[in-house]
Amino acid sequence: MYSRVFVRGCTAALTAALTLAGGQAYAASPGSGDQLRAARVVTYDAGASAEFKAAVDRGAAIWNESVDSVELRPAAAGQRANIRILADNGWPRALTTSLGNGTVYIGRQAVNEGYDTVRISAHELGHILGLPDRKPGPCTSLMSGSSAGVACTNPYPDAAEKAEVEGNFDAALARPASAARTTVIVD
């Protein structure tokens, strides 16, 4: 009995500590191994995404449905977002400053050529989550991007892409933040 109370107390303390450290913590229900799973919350600002706002929100929701170690949320009013999302007339691209941080451009050039806006949004958010382009690639691979063709509207990451994002954020949660790096990915 004492050990059960002790374990629950430790779990609650660890959950509170992880929450204060900047992420959300989720404790498993008793009997499921009492594992602790932390999710990093990454905020995005789609205020400048113009006509693509709904597609951006759907792309973020797809990632939230697909992975557990990171959660994409719209930034609250006055909150500095991890990701800025902008509409422009160029080709879609992502500039990452570090894992979970950067700027996404939803370029109208690809949309005008017939590419799906939700697939573009989910793909570019995938770069911010640490995924590279995988070209050429099939439609089943979200990160195949434009190489899958205009007819491809699949906005969902495949199993390998999901696992890679989980690994990226699990590793990031296990170590202190490292120096920022900038990567420009033009699709």
Residues belonging to the active site: 124
What is the Cα–Cα distance from 143 to 148, expressed in whole angstroms?
9
Taking phi first (over 0 means left), then psi (-120 to 50 degrees means alpha), and beta for anything else, what does residue 45 get?
beta
At residue 32, φ and ψ (nearest 5 deg) are: -105, 25
Decide if 63 contacts 72 (C-beta within 8 A).
Answer: yes
Strand ranges (DSSP E) for 14-82?
A: 24-27, 36-48, 70-74
